[in-house]
Every structure is written in C-alpha cells, then in structure tokens.
Amino acid sequence: MATSTVTAGGALTTTRDTTRARRPRASRVTLHVFLAVMALLWLFPVLWAFLSSFRDYNYTSTHGYASFGGFTLENYKNAWEQADFGRHFWNSVIITVPAVTITLFLASCVAFVLARFSFRFNIALLGLFTAANLLPQQSLLIPLYRLFRSVPLPYFMSDSGILLDSFWGLILVNTAFQTGFCVFVLSNYMKTLPHELYEAAMVDGAGILRQFFQITLPLCRPPLAALATLEITWIYNEFFWATVLMQTGDKFPITSSLNNLRGTFFTDDNLVSAASVLVALPTLVVFFVLQRQFVSGLTLGATKG
C-alpha cells in the first residue's frame, strides 16, 4: 500500500500548479465540459425523482412529464400515510442505532487487543474478522434462518417468541456482519498510536480496561466518527437480512419495506418518487452534512504504522 509516501500538502500543490501552467487551455475546457456533462448525467435520476415527487398525478397523466405545473405536496402526505412510513422509520432506528453502537464497541475491543499485543494468532484473527463481511449473505442464509427459528425469546422481547421475525435477530446479524470491517479499520488505526502512551499508563498502574477506555478510545474518535457514519448508512440501507428474517409486514425497517410498497404504489409514479425521496432523506443528510466522514470511512484504514 502506498501509504509511506504521504507528502505534505504544500509540496503537492506546488508541483500540480506547474503542471497546470503547462497544460494547454483548450484541453482544460474539454475536461471541464466532459466532467460537467457526466456530473449532470449522474445527478439526473435523483433530481428527476425529486421533481416528480412534487407533481400532481392527474396533471402529469394528462399533460405528460415534459410539462410545467401541477406542483403539490400531496404525494408526500399520501406516501407517508399509505405506506405507514412513521412506523417503518422507527423500525429502522430501533435496528440501526443498537447495531451500530454494538458493532463499534465490539470492533474496538478486538482491534485494541490486536493492535496492542502481538499474539501468535493475530493475523488469523484479523483474517477471520475481515473476511466475514465479504461473504455473500445468501450463503449463510439457510442455517441462520433455521437457527433463528429455533431460538426461543421471551414474549416481552419478541412477539414472535423466537429470534426470527424479531428486532433482536436483525441487530445480531447486522452486528456480526459489520464487525469485521470495523475491526480491520480500527486495528490499522490503533497500530499508529504511539506505544509510549501505554508504557506511561502502565507505569502509572493503569490496567487494560483503563488503557482502553481512557487512552485508546478517545484517540480513536476520528475513525470511530467515520465508521459510525458509514455503518449507519449501510445498516439503514440493509435490505437482504430484513427481507428474509422479518415476516410481519409492520416490523420491516424502511429499506426492506420498499419491497411491499411497489404493489401499493404501482399505478402512481409520483407517489413512488415521493416515497423514494422520503427513504433517501436520512442518507442524503449524511451525504450533505457528513460527506467527509463517509468518504474517509470508506477509504480509511490505510495509515499503517
């Protein structure tokens, strides 16, 4: 990995500037035109959905979409009510928040041990975690489905009485699946923390737990923030597990409830677009507000010590 080659930003800019001066102007313009066209092409489907969501169905069906007018907020109201969005959003929250929290905590624990000590099994363990969330989910489905069906839960935890069709099951499976990635990123980051910190702490008599909570975790705020952003988006967007492990319609989190919505909204594309915008909204907030966190989460893990 080309990580040892990070140069100070200043040097980088200077070299790039000289390159720019030498480049002919025309090619620069071509480049911008090309990128602008591509960018608009890429934005178009989302903008189109956004636009259609404000159009009245009767207006667009008589005048066509290439018209102007018939703007309304009704689609949002109808989509929200017909699809029971409030409930499904809440289901997503119930699943996403604990799953992300537990994932990050467990991953930090493992990463801390892997980064702090060199046991013989370190590499194998890291491989075991990292590979786990690259497996195709479908290849685990059958045994997991059976397992979840046979694990009883008390009724106050799950009204199905079993792990299948319960929020606990989804939280568990999402946690198990996402931990690997976080372990990988966090352990790479933790390996770059100066070892002297721990030496000093040990001289002061701090045990492992204090080292973990008072030294490592506070220093890991940047990767934890990035991972939290990323994992919230991923678990919110998660479709497969919720589709197969949930059975009662009103327990589906928002992303997999889309599956049932296609039937409901089949005849009205403007409703479909309003629903799409609503579902996309939380991730669009992430996109606009936390973009840097998201991107650095995706590309993090490279700063190896």
Partner 1 sequence: MTDLPTVPVGAPTESGAPGLRARRPARPRRSRAHRLSRTDKAVLTVMVAVPTALVVGLVWLPAIATVILSFSNWDGIGGLGTIHWIGFENYQNVVTNYPPFKPAIEHNVIWLAVMFLLATPLGMFLAVLLDRQLRASAFYQASFFLPVVLSLALLGFIWQLIYSSDQGLLNNVLGTKVDWYGDPSVNLWAVLVAASWRHTGYIMLLYLAGLKAVDPSLREAAQMDGASERRAFFSVVFPVMRPVNVIILVVTVIESLRAFDLVWVINKGRNGLELISALVTNNVVGEASRIGFGSALATIMLVISLVFITIYLATVMREDT
Residues 96-155 that bind partner 1 (CB under 8 A): 106-107, 109-110, 112-113, 115-119, 123, 125-147
Q: How far is CA 148 from CA 161, 223, 238, in A?
A: 11, 33, 18
Per-residue binding letters, 247-266, with partner 1 (x by CB under 8 A):
--------xx-xx-xx----
Consecutive H or E run containing 179: helix 167-190
Q: Which is nearer to partner 1, 15 or 248 (CB)?
A: 15
Q: How far is the CB of 201 from partner 1 (least distance, A)?
A: 12
48 is a contact residue toward partner 1 (CB under 8 A): yes
Among 24, 25, 26, 66, binds partner 1 (CB under 8 A): 66
Distance CA 80, CA 83 (A): 6
CB-based contacts of 272: which residues, under 8 Å, 6+ apart?
261, 262, 265
Distance CA 66, CA 89 (A): 33
234 is a contact residue toward partner 1 (CB under 8 A): yes
What is the CA angle 124-129-130, rounded to 5? 95
Q: Which stretch binds partner 1 (CB under 8 A): 69-77, 80-88, 154-162, 186-194?
A: 186-194
Q: Which stretch binds partner 1 (CB under 8 A): 59-67, 81-89, 93-101, 151-159?
A: 59-67
Give residues 279-298 in contact with partner 1 (rule: CB under 8 A): 279-280, 283-284, 286-287, 291-292, 294-296, 298
Q: How far is the CB of 285 from partner 1 (least distance, A)?
A: 9
**Contact of 168 with 151, CB cutoff 8 Å:** no
Distance CA 199, CA 201 (A): 5
301 is a contact residue toward partner 1 (CB under 8 A): yes
Give residues 5-44 in contact with partner 1 (rule: CB under 8 A): 5-7, 11-13, 15-17, 19-20, 31-32, 34-36, 38-40, 42-43
Q: Which stretch binds partner 1 (CB under 8 A): 73-81, 92-100, 151-159, 271-279?
A: 271-279
Q: How far is the CB of 155 from partner 1 (least distance, A)?
A: 23
- Is residue 206 classed as helix, strand or coil in its secondary structure? coil
Terminal-residue alpha carbon distance, the chain = 12
Size of the site for partner 1 (CB under 8 A): 140
CB-based contacts of 280: which residues, under 8 Å, 6+ apart?
46, 49
Q: How far is the CB of 44 from partner 1 (least distance, A)?
A: 9
Number of neighbouring beta carbons within 10 Å of residue 138: 9
Give residues 70-99 in contact with partner 1 (rule: CB under 8 A): none
Q: How far is the CB of 301 from partner 1 (least distance, A)?
A: 4
- Is residue 290 classed as helix, strand or coil in its secondary structure? coil
Distance CA 47, CA 51 (A): 6
Q: Which is nearer to partner 1, 155 or 203 (CB)?
A: 203
